[in-house]
């Protein structure tokens, strides 16, 4: 089938493109290669995708450009769209809330409308665990109330979920909305904690730790997230929301210990006050994904961190 992957040159998107190609599909990757982090990183991702045998086309473009989306979806008969393009990061969203609304919300609306007008019925969309906000109930379930977002990024993802539901309810599109929980692994964005900490520690520089290190995250290895995304491409749902996490919490202090062991060096901690927008814990209830998708995360953090460090040592930018 023909599949469009928005954000296809990014961390998760590049892995999705590769898996689709390995499965025999034709893939178009739309990405604007913006300077949120060095475009060289995404360009390296593209080179790896292009080295695979298969039908692949990179389309430079921005989901906020309605005309470009209309031209792309009008010119190729896509069977499915996997929508991963977004401005990411809670902390950056505090600095540029309007940009996050424009790219994440308006961009998603543009994509859904282009899909509707061009007969694309099935779309898988990346949401985020951040939509749960400060949730006292752990683990987080898809049925939990989600009206307590505490960052512009989280609010933008809530809006995307609402748009997905509208386009299913009104126009009949098949929408799978995936709440992703702290994905890590090869090609991870350099601004994310695991990658950022590993680079700083390797260089003997201090790592910035916000708060006392007790914050808990549900770290999910990229291969497990990829399994859940691909499962969504093989089924129809109407409209469904799924958590894709490991369902195991790891404290920031424990994460640093695992990095120290994998890197063979001691971290120098630079303490900072807690940051606005950060939640104390994320933890996925994955019962629904297990039942409906056959989702079964396999890579524990104790395995995943050494795997990531091995990749990083071979791919320093």
Cα–Cα distance for residue pair 292/228, rounded to 1 Å: 10
Among residues 132, 153, 167, 295, the one annotated as catalytic is 153
Cα–Cα distance for residue pair 259/305, rounded to 1 Å: 7
Q: Closest Cα partner for 289 from 239, 206, 228, 246? A: 228
How does DSSP assign 224-259, residue by residue?
HHHHHHHHHHT---SEEEEEES-S--EEHHHHHHHH
Burial profile 218-247: b = 16 or more Cβ within 10 angstroms, e = fewer: bbbbbbbbbbbbbbbbeeebebbbbbbbbb
Cα–Cα distance for residue pair 91/113, rounded to 1 Å: 29
Active site residue 153: yes
Burial of 97 (0-12, 13-18, 19+ CB in 10 A): middle
Residue numbers annotated as active site:
153
């Amino acid at each position: 089938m023909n599949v469009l992957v928005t954000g296809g040159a990014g961390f998760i998107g590049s892995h999705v493109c590769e898996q689709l190609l390995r499965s025999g599909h034709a893939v178009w990757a739309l990405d604007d290669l913006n300077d949120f982090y060095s475009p060289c990183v995404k360009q390296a991702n593209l080179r790896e995708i292009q080295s695979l045998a298969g039908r692949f086309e990179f389309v430079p473009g921005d989901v906020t450009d309605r005309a470009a989306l209309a031209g792309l979806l009008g010119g190729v008969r896509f069977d499915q769209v996997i929508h991963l393009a977004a401005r990411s990061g809670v902390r950056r969203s505090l600095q540029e809330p309007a940009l996050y609304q424009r790219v994440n919300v308006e961009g998603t609306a543009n994509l859904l409308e282009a899909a509707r007008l061009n007969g694309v019925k099935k779309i898988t969309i990346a949401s985020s665990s951040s939509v749960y906000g400060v949730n006292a109930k752990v683990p987080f379930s898809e049925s939990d109330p989600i009206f307590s977002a505490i960052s512009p990024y989280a609010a933008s993802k809530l809006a995307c979920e609402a748009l997905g539901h509208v386009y299913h309810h009104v126009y009949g599109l098949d929408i799978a909305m995936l709440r992703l929980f702290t994905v890590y692994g090869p090609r991870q964005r350099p601004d994310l904690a695991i990658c950022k900490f590993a680079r700083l520690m390797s260089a003997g520089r201090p790592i910035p730790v916000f708060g006392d290190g007790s914050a808990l995250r549900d770290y999910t290895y990229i291969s497990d997230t990829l399994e859940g995304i691909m499962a969504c491409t093989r089924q129809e749902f109407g409209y469904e929301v799924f958590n894709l996490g490991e369902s195991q919490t790891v404290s920031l202090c424990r994460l640093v210990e695992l990095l120290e062991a994998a890197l063979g060096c001691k971290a120098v901690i630079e303490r900072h006050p807690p940051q606005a927008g950060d939640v104390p814990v994320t933890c996925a209830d994955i019962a629904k994904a297990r039942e409906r998708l056959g989702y079964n995360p396999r890579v524990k953090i104790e395995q995943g961190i050494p795997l990531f460090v091995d990749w990083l040592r071979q791919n320093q930018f």
